[in-house]
């Protein structure tokens, strides 16, 4: 086991591929699991739990396929349960599947709460000791490194401490390499975790690990408390994925461990990849990344208030607890009605824009931003639209095309079939293009018509992909006449940007955001030197 003799180094055990896969809405394919394992290995995580061999064909194949990859740091762990009652270890099919998995380490879960032993398993307490001992001894005889996951340990210790301690003592007697104390229901608080863990550390010689669920919102805090009390290993998942409320979030725990507690772990050397890997895992999981996550969220180092931004310009430690680059993240200054001139100046500098008029121009831009936000615009998620406002104010930007007019027709026939058609006229460099296109809805029809009209002048428009489209009603009391805000996300190759539009007419709001998105891409392409665009 890595760094087993270094008492200061904490061993990180990732169970995203098993416990994390139990998250509502997640269904990892075999290929997903392999890709995630390789990314987690980049973070120098010590153990990656791949699944439960014998429980399903996908996990069986994972353990054979992962051996063909270039995992360079992590040990691969297989998860399973103790032998079944009234079955010898050598005859238990699930233990045979574990033994045949080819995993480096086997983690065995066992009951340590008397209530579960008698109520859920329906066996005597003494028989539970035999299940634990026989299973671990059998796997150790086969040459495996074996961890015990002491399920419901903290609840069991609260109800019957003698029995819970006797269970882990039996595992240690059988040769377990790590005793992992689990708060399976996730309801124990840090002060109790620290007290119980400290007591167990003093009573056993086998290294202790911990595994916390987040039902009380304190899984990371519990992990910190356990390490302070002497735990040598922490189990958790990327982004805190897991059943119910999730597990200990390693993207928060690891930087807390290294940057706040001054403790070492192998992942400390790869901390600069943390945000990237966190986002990668959420992308593979097909879940929106939590932008409010500590350390790795897009808003973790975002600043909105003008007073904050003004102070940041003098010293970033005024409103940041650490340098975002340490965890692979970045500072972000938001622009809104709460902004001051410092926000405008900061954002302009970030975009490489020189505000030649000193204090006057930022004030003008700020006034425009506040006026627009009063109308319902929001630029926090629409930095493309915000940059265009600054570029227009500085005179750097001229439109790439001018609208002459558009018309959108939606028709529903007697067969209940709905069709939408948009016609559009745009002028590019003195040439007027008039075209039409269909779409599943009016916005798609308009988008298709605009692209069709412009692609002969700007072929690169064909590479733009619309990745998200959100509509929000700004005044629900106004009914169908309420203004709406449309936020659009688009991307081209590796570039990604957001734009915004607001109107009482959803087509007009969508048009504003669509045009800004195309104009933004064309401007960035022109200024990057890819190709000279046609001047409008």
Q: Could you report the per-residue pLDDT of 475-517, keeping only the tens digit for each?
A: 767 777 889 999 898 988 778 888 999 999 999 999 999 999 9
- pLDDT band of residue 299 (cuts 50, 70, 90) is confident
Q: Are residues 205 and 272 in the same domain?
A: yes
Looking at the chain, the whole-number percentage of residues with pLDDT higher than 70 is: 94
Residue 409 lies in a domain: yes
How much is the pLDDT for 527? Answer: 84
CATH number at residue 452: 3.30.160
Q: Are residues 182 and 267 in the same domain?
A: yes
Could you tell me if 134 and 122 are in contact, meaning their C-beta atoms sit under 8 angstroms apart?
A: no
Q: Could you report the per-residue pLDDT of 38-74, keeping only the tens digit for each?
A: 999 999 999 999 999 998 999 999 999 999 999 999 9
Asked whether residue 4 carries a pLDDT value surpassing 60, the answer given is no
**8-state DSSP, 335:** -
Residue 306 lies in a domain: yes
Asked whether residue 259 carries a pLDDT value surpassing 70, the answer given is yes
Residue 453 lies in a domain: yes
Q: Are residues 427 and 314 in the same domain?
A: no
CATH number at residue 153: 3.20.20.70
Of the residues 411, 441, 457, which one is the last residue of a structural domain? 457
Q: Are residues 113 and 197 in the same domain?
A: yes
Asked whether residue 413 carries a pLDDT value surpassing 90, the answer given is no
- pLDDT band of residue 339 (cuts 50, 70, 90) is low
Q: Are residues 181 and 152 in the same domain?
A: yes
Name which of 36-45, 206-215, 391-400 the model is least confident about.
Answer: 391-400
Residue 111 lies in a domain: yes
Of the residues 439, 457, 475, which one is the last residue of a structural domain? 457
Q: Are residues 111 and 47 in the same domain?
A: yes
Separation in Å, CA 230 to CA 208, 213, 412: 8, 19, 69
Q: Which helix (H) or strand (E) holds 404?
A: strand 402-412
Q: Are residues 242 and 363 in the same domain?
A: no
Q: Are residues 268 and 351 in the same domain?
A: no
Residue 268 lies in a domain: yes
Beta partners for residue 199, in sequence order: none
Residue 231 lies in a domain: yes
Q: Are residues 326 and 423 in the same domain?
A: no
Q: Are residues 173 and 199 in the same domain?
A: yes
Q: Domains in the chain: how many in total?
A: 3
How much is the pLDDT for 414? Answer: 82
Give 135: exposed, middle or buried? Use CB within 10 Å, 0-12, 13-18, 19+. Answer: buried
Q: Are residues 34 and 139 in the same domain?
A: yes
Best CA proximity match to 161, nearest among 192, 122, 207? 192
| Residues 402-421, mean pLDDT to the nearest whole number | 91
Residue 2 lies in a domain: no
Q: Are residues 141 and 239 in the same domain?
A: yes
Residue 525 lies in a domain: no
Residue 426 domain boundaries: 401-457
Q: What is the pTM of this model?
A: 0.72
Tell which wins on pLDDT, 341 or 32: 32
Of the residues 357, 375, 393, which one is the last residue of a structural domain? 375
Asked whether residue 336 carries a pLDDT value surpassing 80, the answer given is no
Asked whether residue 408 carries a pLDDT value surpassing 90, the answer given is yes
C-alpha to C-alpha distance for 74 and 100, rounded to whole angstroms = 19
């Amino acid at each position: 086991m890595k760094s087993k003799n270094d008492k200061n180094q904490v061993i990180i055990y990732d169970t995203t591929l098993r416990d994390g896969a139990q998250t509502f809405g997640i269904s990892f394919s075999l290929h997903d699991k392999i890709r995630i394992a390789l990314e987690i290995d980049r973070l120098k995580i010590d153990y990656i739990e791949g699944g439960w061999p014998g429980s399903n064909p996908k996990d069986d194949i994972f353990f054979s396929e992962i051996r063909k990859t270039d995992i360079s740091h992590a040990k691969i762990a297989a998860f399973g349960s103790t032998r079944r009652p009234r079955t010898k270890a050598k005859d238990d099919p699930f233990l045979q599947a574990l033994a045949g998995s080819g995993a480096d380490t086997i983690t065995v879960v066992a009951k340590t709460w008397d209530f579960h032993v008698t109520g859920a398993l329906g066996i005597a307490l003494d028989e539970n000791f035999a299940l634990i001992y026989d299973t671990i001894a059998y796997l150790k005889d086969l040459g495996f490194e074996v961890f015990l996951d002491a399920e419901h340990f903290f609840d069991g210790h609260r109800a019957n401490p003698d029995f819970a301690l006797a269970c882990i003592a039996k595992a240690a007697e059988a040769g377990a390499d790590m005793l992992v104390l689990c708060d399976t229901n996730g309801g124990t608080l840090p002060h109790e975790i620290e007290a119980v863990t400290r007591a167990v550390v003093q009573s056993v010689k086998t290294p202790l690990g911990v595994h916390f669920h987040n039902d009380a919102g304190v899984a990371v805090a519990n992990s910190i408390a356990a390490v302070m009390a002497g735990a040598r290993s922490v189990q958790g998942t990327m982004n805190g994925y897991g059943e119910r409320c999730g597990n200990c979030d390693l993207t928060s725990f690891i930087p807390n461990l290294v940057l706040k507690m001054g403790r070492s772990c192998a992942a400390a050397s790869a901390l600069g990849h943390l945000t990237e890997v966190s986002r990668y895992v959420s992308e593979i999981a097909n879940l929106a990344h939590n932008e409010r996550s500590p350390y790795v969220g897009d808003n973790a180092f975002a600043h909105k208030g003008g007073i904050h931004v003004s102070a940041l310009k003098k010293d970033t430690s005024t409103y940041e607890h650490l340098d975002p680059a340490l965890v692979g993240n970045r500072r972000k200054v938001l622009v809104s009605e709460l902004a001051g001139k410092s926000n405008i100046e900061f954002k302009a500098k970030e975009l490489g824009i020189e505000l030649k008029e000193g204090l006057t121009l930022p004030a003008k831009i700020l006034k425009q931003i506040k006026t627009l936000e009063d109308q319902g615009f929001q630029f926090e998620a629409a930095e493309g639209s915000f940059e265009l406002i600054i570029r227009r104010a500085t005179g750097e930007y001229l439109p790439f095309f001018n609208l002459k007019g558009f018309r959108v027709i939606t028709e529903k026939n007697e067969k209940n079939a709905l069709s939408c058609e948009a016609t559009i006229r745009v002028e590019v460099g003195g040439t007027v293009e008039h075209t039409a296109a269909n779409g599943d809805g009016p916005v798609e029809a308009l988008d298709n018509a605009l692209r069709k009209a412009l692609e002969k002048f700007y072929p690169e428009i064909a590479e733009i992909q619309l990745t998200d489209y959100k509509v929000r009603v700004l005044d629900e009391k106004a009914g169908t006449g309420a203004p709406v805000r449309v936020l659009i996300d688009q991307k081209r190759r590796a570039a990604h940007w957001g734009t915004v539009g607001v109107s009482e007419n959803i087509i007009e709001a969508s048009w504003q955001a669509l045009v800004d998105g195309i104009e933004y891409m064309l401007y960035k392409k022109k200024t990057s030197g890819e190709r000279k665009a046609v001047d409008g």
